[in-house]
Amino acid sequence: MNLEIKSRLYSIATFLLTPVVLFRLAVRGIKAPAYFRRWKERFGVFPNPNFKKSILIHAVSVGEVNAAIPLIKALMKSYSDYDFVITTVTPTGSDRVQQIFGNSVFHLYLPYDLSGAVKRFLRKIKPEIAVVM
């Protein structure tokens, strides 16, 4: 099976599973209301930050954020003319980013792996460098 067919099948599968993902998000949101806040970001919907140059760093949750702190601080010194976007997937990861970096970085939830969500996200962020922890 060639790559194009695999890619299309993957896109169809992720689209069809979107209701399951939304249900899971709703259940998590009932247990922890922070999951409901900023839910649109998970679909790549957020105000356009108008970055000229940006560096994207993805850290899943608190542990990865903690591990990334020295790297982020070093990159911020070396690339002081860049905007820094840190993505997480959990509210606790988001809280940790805000606690450590405050307004010196732009935090977003990483969008779900849906074609439209990822395209919207990348079109707005336009990262020149991306680091995945």
d(CA 124, CA 133): 21
Residue 58 belongs to what H/E stretch?
strand 54-58
Q: Which of 4, 41, 64, 128 is catalytic?
A: 64
* CB-based contact 56:131 (threshold 8 Å): yes
Q: Which of 130, 62, 126, 131 is nearest to 100 (CA)?
A: 62
Query: Does 64 participate in catalysis according to the annotation?
Result: yes
Residue 106: strand pairing partners:
85
In the chain, count H helices and then E strands. 4, 4
* CB-based contact 81:113 (threshold 8 Å): no
- Which residues are catalytically annotated? 64
